[in-house]
Structure 1
Amino acid sequence: MAITARLQRDPFNAQAEADALTKGRTDLGAALTFTGLVRADDGLIALTLEHYPAMTLAAMQAIADQAAARWRDVTGTIIHRHGRLLPGEAIVLVTTASPHRQSAFEAATFLMDWLKTKAPFWKREDHADGTSKWVEAKQADDAAADRWTP
């Protein structure tokens, strides 16, 4: 089975993506959808994601391919948005489906852990007080991704 990656500026419809993944499939026993949202932490008014399109999409698809190779019974879709996003807006979608729930959960967790640490995005936070700052990598995200490395 395959997992596909998409990069887009526009919002996505999580339910439509999940439906497209499972439509007509009678071999699936589990479908999982995760949507990441922009949080309004510390006066955040916007989050801007910058990227190099070909490089970022290639990295995302490589992550998807690694998950598909590791969990061969999983199919899925990952979508990551870019541009200026406001608190409450969806930023990332991971959908996985499998004959068995454990594979769907594990693949989704792997995909999110690796997207957070290996997909080349540059994030800038804009705050209500007029300040902006670039987001640095978090040690906790690196530790979560490290658990998947043999």
Structure 2
Amino acid sequence: MDYIEITDEILDVNKISQMVTDPSCGAISIFVGITRDNFDGKKVLRLEYEAYKPMAKKKMKEICDSIRKQWEIHSIAMIHRINVVPISEASIVIAISSPHRKESLQAVEYAIDTLKATVPIWKKVPVIAV
């Protein structure tokens, strides 16, 4: 099953992990992208994201389909937060379950790299402290 969402809510990594948990799987690989407090040597107060939701969700589904063609995967959760994301909070969580670790590890790396390159979700210029 694929869980795809774009939300302005705080992302709960445990809840997202549970979405992909299955007794037939021995692995869940998770990528959590968080807002850091610096960018190009400057202090960041927060990040802001915006998205073209219909196209973004369509592209996220295409990534899930591509993953399933390449690896033996059980479930995929790809949840991206938009609007304001404060320091140390998650902007994206990708969780992928599979019978064995190699598939889920490779798939989660592919998922984040492909999402960043193809999905119309934009990080606004970081807000820099004066």
TM-score of the pair, normalised by structure 1: 0.78
The corresponding residue for 1:148 is none
Partner of 1:59, secondary structure, is: helix
Amino-acid identity (%) = 25
> Alpha carbons of 1:80 and 1:17: their partners in 2 closer, same or farther (altered >3 Å)?
same
Unpaired runs of 5+ residues, structure 2, are: none
What is the match of residue 5 of structure 1?
A: 4
Q: 2:25 aligns with which of 13, 23, 28?
A: 28
In the TM superposition, what whole-angstrom CA distance separates every residue of 1:56-98 from its partner, at most 9, and x where no partner exists? 1111121122112221334211101110111111100010111
8 Å CA contact 2:19–2:77 kept in 1: the answer is no
Q: Which runs of 5+ in 1 are unaligned?
A: 130-150
Question: What corresponds to 2:18 in structure 1?
Answer: 19
CA RMSD of aligned residues (A): 1.4
Q: Structure 1 residue 37 and structure 2 residue 38: aligned?
A: no
Shift of 1:4: 2.8
Q: Is the 8 A contact 1:29 1:99 kept in 2?
A: yes
Within 5 Å, which residues of 2 pair with 1:66-81? 66-81=66-81
TM-score (norm 2): 0.89
Comparing both chains, which one has the higher relative contact order based on Cα–Cα distances under 8 Å and sequence gaps of 6 or more? 2
Choose 59-68 or 79-88, whichever is displaced more.
59-68
- Between the two proteins, the alignment pairs up a number of residues equal to 126
